[in-house]
Chain A
Amino acid sequence: MTTGLDLQQSFVQFLEGVGLAPGAARALWMPLPMVAVLTFATIWALVATWLERKISAAVQQRIGPEYAGPLGMLIPIADVVKLLVKENVRPGRADRWLFTMGPVVVVMSVLLAYLIVPFGQNLVITDLGVGIFLWIAISSIAPIGLLMAGYGSNNKYSLLGGLRAAAQSISYEVPLALAVLAVAMMSNSLSTVDIVEQQTGYGILSWNVWRQPVGFVIFWIAALAECERLPFDLPEAEEELVAGYQTEYSAVNFMLFYAASYLNLVLSCLLVAVLYLGGWESPIPIETLASWLNLSLENPLVQVIAGMIGITMTLIKAYFMLFLAILLRWTVPRVRIDQLLDLGWKFLLPVGLANLLLTAALKLAFPAAFGG
């Protein structure tokens, strides 16, 4: 197994070559991936909003934005600028701290989870041993932020929305964790990098989605519920609660919520790609491609190209899932709160448990195929 591209090592070596102390060189490296991921995550979320507009327009036989830049691609920028220059209104009797901190907590928790999304062997901010578990842990902070926002707004719609968000997140965290657990059991690791590596070897055939079809569906449903996307967008159900917990928000604070929801969606799609669709692996393994072209993987140029293919692959898979999510949102009606909880507790949870049990049994029976 090749280690592939290691930007950190090259960067540190380069700085040391210029004459910096090893510690200083490493310290200089540290902020770079964080800034890069922050920037790229924001861009991906903006692209997601544009896609949402364009795809929903196509579904509804409209054209969608078309004048702001080519194909209306500048419309997310226009959105951001508009929200930045708007007056930030806080209702008179809202709780100042809860109201202000709510969106911040939500965005922070989502952004933090980008830490563990790998785009290549070494293209990940931190390859934590608890990787995917960290995401599950962090993602349960977001509903606290929503609850803060809902409770602090001094608005009954907001309060109901916040409570719905809390109830929904708690119910869907469990099947989500169970689905992830089955994958982790097969990979013998919680690290996202290990999970992807375990899906290598046979290209598209080695992806987890074939070995975990049930888990894949559970994960996808639960992830949609976690992202509060239709058919599970109860906390912000427009026709019932006006805008749920965001009712009283405007300008930058609203933008934070808006950004958080799309960041979260992109993150969930990325994680589907990582957990079930082979992460950065291309459908035909890079090694095979390289051998067809008689290229050595040690070649630096090949490594750079392989790294870029890896990033592209991850994004293609993630955006395919995003496309499905958007299509779903504009096709189906919304479920009711009791149906939502029934689905979570009475259907996904038992199915998730059965799936976990089945995975364990298969792992014992066929250790070769199920990562024994």
Chain B
Amino acid sequence: MTMIETRTEPMVINFGPHHPSMHGVLRLMVTLDGENVIDCEPVLGYLHRSMEKIAENRTVVQYLPYVTRWDYLATMFTEAITVNAPEKLADIPVPKRASYIRVIMLELSRIASHLLWLGPFLADIGAQTPFFYIFREREMIYDLFEAATGMRMMHNYFRVGGVAADLPYGWVDKCEDFCRYFLPKVDEYERLITDNPIFRKRVQGVGVLSREDAINWGMSGPMLRASGVKWDLRKVDHYECYDDFDWEVQWATDGDCFARYMVRLGEMRESAKIILQALKGLPGGPYENLEAKRMAEGPKSEWNGFDYQFVSKKPSPTFKIPKGEHYVRVEAPKGELGVYIIGDDSPFPWRWKIRPPGFINLQVLPQLVRGMKVADIMAILGSIDIIMGEVDR
């Protein structure tokens, strides 16, 4: 008796660079056996803009407006690392007030970034509605940014030694209002999403990354923390003034897409808590009070002291980056954002190497999607949280 043999050739299918869920211009060449993924090969570089090379003939102030285009959803972090690198190399002190303002801005930016991760992640697995809910809150953060910096996304706010301007009149109250409004909204997302059985089925046990793998692949940020590593640079490096606040590192042990979701939701809550504490502890208090006290006490006022300034001294446009090399990193929403800077005692950095978290985290994608279904590619890619601006630079 002869058997009828059914045999299928694997199909190579191209996702992107123009595809609804490729988060910009990522391209995946996926080999499929029916609905099963045999292999996946990411192709990068469609958004390459020579960010690192351009840095080599720009002064810090010249380069600052450009860096928000790395990770255009967590813009404050790119600015923070851009000023931190020369700051650390030149040993420039940052006033306490400036540091607090920075932390507030960074954490707002972290919330904004996580919000714009949550919406597309849910959209990637088919639920369109959360996208509109997150934009409601994100809009408020951007209004706050606009009030403080004059720009919604590309704010150009950080400066070597501090920030570009003090917080405007009434900003502290507005920001506090936002935090109090935002915390219940996270609960609202949870009610809408977390216990949805279809959502659970789509993300639980999908894209599991073990602790060892996460470390070996150089993961960072929520990708690493969701795999059971309690590693947060804010706690590890003690940079800025994060030690002044009472907050917890969010982490989970499952290592699947659901764990990453829970970590990010938890981080949004923690960020809101940090902001509330920073607003309360802001040295000098709200701008209007600080100025009133300065005016009342005259030039000898203690409020003219270093710690109550928003910038240590006005940075020179030709600020020289001293000779030496240094690696500086911050905990960006997507992971460890680092810059390896080599100074040459000139206004321009000799080398400006960016370590974008999205780029490093994306490497693990082929391993995670192998053997999964087509639909899981989107869930896993969504949970990695990439921004092609910083992946391709």
Chain A: residues with CB nearer than 8 A to chain B?
56, 59-62, 156-157, 160, 230-231, 233-234, 237-242, 330-339
Contact = CB atoms under 8 A, between A and B. Distances in A.
Contacts of A334: 125-127, 198, 202, 375
Interface residues of B, number: 32
Contacts of B14: 156
Contact of B373 (A56, A62, A231, A338): A338
A332 B35 contact: no
Contact of A156 (B11, B128, B133, B136): B11
Interface of B: 11, 13-14, 19-21, 32, 35, 122-129, 131-133, 136, 192, 196, 198-199, 201-202, 373-378
A240 B374 CA distance: 7
B19 A242 contact: yes
A61 B130 CA distance: 11
The 6 closest A-B pairs by CB, nearest first: A334-B126, A60-B132, A239-B21, A333-B127, A333-B126, A333-B125
Contacts of A230: 126
Contact of A59 (B32, B129, B201): B129
A61 B132 contact: yes
Contacts of B126: 230-231, 233, 237, 239, 332-334
A60 B129 CA distance: 6
B202 A157 contact: no
B291 to A, nearest CB: 39
B329 to A, nearest CB: 33
B378 A333 contact: no
Given A60-B129, A240-B21, A332-B198, A337 B122 contact: no
A336 B124 contact: no
B37 to A, nearest CB: 11
A234 to B, nearest CB: 8
A293 to B, nearest CB: 46
B229 to A, nearest CB: 28
Which of B122, B123, B198, B373 has the most CB atoms of chain A within a 10 A radius of its CB? B198
30 contacts: A56-B129, A59-B129, A60-B128, A60-B132, A62-B132, A156-B11, A156-B13, A157-B13, A160-B13, A238-B20, A239-B123, A239-B124, A239-B125, A239-B126, A240-B21, A240-B375, A330-B128, A330-B129, A332-B196, A333-B122, A333-B196, A334-B127, A335-B201, A336-B201, A336-B373, A336-B375, A337-B35, A338-B35, A339-B201, A339-B202
Contacts of A233: 126
Nearest to B192: A331
Given A339-B201, A339-B202, 13 more contacts: A60-B129, A61-B132, A61-B136, A230-B126, A231-B198, A233-B126, A239-B126, A240-B374, A240-B378, A241-B374, A331-B192, A333-B126, A338-B373
B333 to A, nearest CB: 22
A239 B35 contact: no
A331 B201 contact: no
A184 B157 CA distance: 71
B369 to A, nearest CB: 12
A160 B374 contact: yes
